[in-house]
Amino acid sequence: MKKVLVIATFNPHKLLEIRAILPAQLALKALSDFPGSVPAEEDGATLEENAAKKALAAARFTGLWALADDTGLEVDALGGGPGIRSARYAGESSSSADNTAKLLLALEGLPSEKRLARFACVMALASPSGDLLTCRGVLEGRITGGGRGAEGFGYDPVFEVAGGCRTLAEFSEREKNSVSHRAQALKGLLPELLRLFPAARPAS
């Protein structure tokens, strides 16, 4: 039987993105596939703390190795905010549209050079016994004055990637998964994942 890696998320967009980035041979299950599972409370002070908490909780609950992430949008003009509050920027039950609208309002009237931002992602890999490994990925860019593009999710339509003129929502799935903050963090953990799950090693 294949060893299974649990992806500790209830966000279907994140799950699809992680599946697309990791080797296809790796057997993955979402935490939501396990009856009785619930999201861990994200009350850490940093992305690292939240990612670690989610991964460790999922690993202990399932008895399997678990992978979790925490991602934040850091805007210079907002002092690094919304940061760890990115998913709840407009309130605890806010939608992506609510969060984006609040962000654009907060930056209204600022010129392009004052709208610098970055996506930061921390991936945490945990075992049921408490072993833990984390890796951070960062994607630099700026916040646009309005949304562009129909791909991606969250703040992607208003995040223009540095060095170009397209938002993440204007990237194809393949393009995004080659440069994104989440892809960078996952690639940092890939050597350990391939050691733990040798059957997932890509064919040469």
The catalytic residue positions are 70
Question: Rounded to whole angstroms, what are the CA distances from 152 to 16, 111, 123, 166?
Answer: 11, 25, 19, 12
Nearest alpha-carbon partner for 185 in 80, 48, 65, 30: 48
The answer to whether 195 and 26 have CB atoms below 8 angstroms apart is no
Q: How far apart are CA 80 and CA 88, in angstroms?
A: 15
Q: Shortest CA distance to 5 belongs to which of 69, 59, 48?
A: 59
The amino acid that residue 164 corresponds to is G
